[in-house]
Structure 1
Amino acid sequence: MNKSATVRHLVFTALLTALTLIFGRFFLIPLPWTHGNINLCDVGIFIGAMLLGPWAGGFIGGFGAMFLDLISGFAQYAPFSFISHGLEGIVAGLVFKYVRGKWGRVAGVSAGTIVMVVGYFFSDAILYTWATGAAGIFPNLIQGIVGSVIALLIATPVEKAIHPALTGK
């Protein structure tokens, strides 16, 4: 990548990190039984992983979700969100990279969602109890599925819109 392309890639990574934070903050439902929340941050993570690759997806997921927790009153989850959503972005991005086409995108968001759900199961179990971890599986799965569907629906239009700016063509 030349210097100009690298700068464009960094700018879009930063923008999607901020959008991930906004998506998460705009739609955030606290869950009293897990002490956490469900939100739409997965949309930005999956879009970033699809369009910018696994490492950008990991950055967007890790930092976007961590900052979301810090500003939303869920600071106890910040390090766990950094890991869970960071790995979600990396895994989804790797699947997108190596499995092309529509089914590659479906497989990528599915793999990313599974990573996030497993990550939060252990996060809740470490922070609270195994029962709390189990209670969080369904809402985290719903969060991942909703984020996946939205990301899959808007990925192509977003890609067409930013492709000229991202490639410089």
Structure 2
Amino acid sequence: MVNKRRMSTREVVSLAMLIAVTVVISRFFLIPIPMTHGNVNLCDCGIFIAALLFGRREGAIVGAFSGLLLDLISGYTQYMFFSFIVHGLEGFIAGWIGGNNKKMSAKLIAVPVGIVIMVAGYWLTDTLLYGFKVGLIGVPMNFIQGIVGGVVAFIVAIPLQNRIPRLMGE
């Protein structure tokens, strides 16, 4: 059954802060990639932290809005709506598999699946916008971005999962 519970003000504010932190760290650690019209950043780190700690809805919200806002303020407006979808789906699926789940095995599956979704989404995006070759050029860098984001997320999220109060409702 789908949870149709409304979000509290505390939950909305917590998600807004997660989005803001994700955008700031992504903007601070930004490496442009020539030939791909994109960059390597830590956006995936914030998405995976939200997904692993709080679940699919929160992972999707943080992913979608972080991706959109980061592209908007970074000058990559052609990617905004694609990033909304790709990073939102990445956060949703990672949170669905590994969020609210204390089992480490679920979290270890969730992050690589999220990375594959992100890489495939940006390959498709780059292919649609700029052609097949540009899409392929971005694949290795997107994998690196996802792996770095996933590793950093594990370093941050796993120790916190039993220490932070449940900000989001079940």
TM-score, normalising length: structure 1: 0.90
- How has the CA–CA distance of structure 1 residues 162 and 100 changed in structure 2, closer, same or farther, with 3 Å as cutoff? closer
- Any unmatched runs of 5+ in structure 2? none
Secondary structure, aligned partner of 1:163: coil
- How has the CA–CA distance of structure 1 residues 128 and 102 changed in structure 2, closer, same or farther, with 3 Å as cutoff? same
Partners of 1:10 and 1:107 in 2: how far apart?
28
Partners of 2:77 and 2:34 in 1: how far apart?
15
Partners of 1:52 and 1:10 in 2: how far apart?
13
Which residue of structure 2 lines up, in the alignment, with residue 17 of structure 1? Answer: 19
Matched letter for residue 62 of structure 1: A
Which residue of structure 2 lines up, in the alignment, with residue 102 of structure 1? Answer: 104
Pick the structure with more helix per residue.
1
In the TM superposition, structure 1's runs of 4+ consecutive aligned residues that sit over 3 Å from their partners are 97-100, 157-161
Secondary structure, aligned partner of 2:164: helix
- Any unmatched runs of 5+ in structure 1? none
Partners of 2:129 and 2:21 in 1: how far apart?
28
Asked whether the 8 Å contact 1:13–1:52 carries over to 2, the reply is: no
Partners of 2:99 and 2:160 in 1: how far apart?
18
Which residue of structure 2 lines up, in the alignment, with residue 144 of structure 1? Answer: 146
TM-score, normalising length: structure 2: 0.89
Which residue of structure 2 lines up, in the alignment, with residue 111 of structure 1? Answer: 113
Asked whether the 8 Å contact 2:53–2:99 carries over to 1, the reply is: no
Q: Percent identity?
A: 45
Asked whether the 8 Å contact 2:99–2:107 carries over to 1, the reply is: no
- How has the CA–CA distance of structure 1 residues 123 and 167 changed in structure 2, closer, same or farther, with 3 Å as cutoff? closer
Which residue of structure 2 lines up, in the alignment, with residue 155 of structure 1? Answer: 157
Partners of 2:12 and 2:129 in 1: how far apart?
34
Matched letter for residue 58 of structure 1: A
Using the TM superposition, name which of 6-15 and 111-120 deviates more. 6-15
- How has the CA–CA distance of structure 1 residues 167 and 93 changed in structure 2, closer, same or farther, with 3 Å as cutoff? closer
Secondary structure, aligned partner of 1:113: helix
Matched letter for residue 45 of structure 1: I
Q: Deviations over 1:98-132 (max 9, x none)?
A: 86411111111111111000000000001101010
Matched letter for residue 103 of structure 1: S
State the 1:52 CA deviation.
Answer: 1.7
